[in-house]
Amino acid sequence: MRTPSFDLTGKAAIITGATKGLGYGMTHALAKAGADVVVVSRTKSDCDAVAEEIKSAGGKAIAVPADVSKPEEIQALVDVTVREFGKIDILVNNAGTAITKKAIELTEEDWDKIMNVNLKGPFLLAQAVGKQMMAQNSGKVINIASMFGLVGDVNVLPYLCSKGGMIQMTRGLALEWARYHIQVNAVCPGYVKTALNTSELDTEKIFKYITGKTPMRRYGEIWEIAGMVQFLASSAADFMTGAIIPVDGGWTAQ
């Protein structure tokens, strides 16, 4: 019997939003598992720094600054990756943003900004990468959605809609691309502590509120999300596609 493997040696992986928070953890996890990683974010200096960290640890990485809401930069990202590594095995659609505002106060600009970064950009990147994966007859697309694509919340309406849309995009692409041996799955994180949000999440009021609503009574850790991404990127998940996986301490099970 074949033994499950989580090794990613020789696999080429694009990770967007790769320099901070969850994306930073995912990038390092895939690199430690052996993947050759393409570090993507809008800021060149941040991309360069993370790529250098990976190379200093013995991994292989290139830095490609790009704004995933801009189609011309998406195609350039794909072209650079194929030129450097000859293929694209893994795409992690992680870049995202949010705005906190009452629905009645939202502007069209607010709506478009969230949708462009959280839904339109990931679709256009998946589409561009998908063409390469079809030619290879293999690939893994991992969309980082949110538990708030599955349940509601207040004052974040565009975010809810964008992540719900990403979940449906995951299902649709999974069905269309299964015949090409491309697996498309989504991870739906709950509240996870990162360097970007620790000061807010550690306030007594917020901590009590969130952990009180989370069955496991704690925040998630970056490595717990990164571990799920590594699994989905590996051959151990070859028979999984169209899966929507909450990693949220039980929030959406209620």
**Catalytic residue annotation:** 159
> How does strand 60-63 pair with strand 36-40?
parallel
The DSSP code sequence of the chain is -PPP----TT-EEEEESTTSHHHHHHHHHHHHTT-EEEEE-S-HHHHHHHHHHHHHTT-EEEE----TT-HHHHHHHHHHHHHHHS---EEEE---------GGG--HHHHHHHHIIIIIHHHHHHHHHHHHHHHHT-EEEEEE--GGGTS--SS-HHHHHHHHHHHHHHHHHHHHHGGGTEEEEEEEE--B--TTTHHHHTSHHHHHHHHHHSTT-S-B-HHHHHHHHHHHHSGGGTT--S-EEEESTTGGG-
Unique residue bearing structure tokens 């299964």: 178
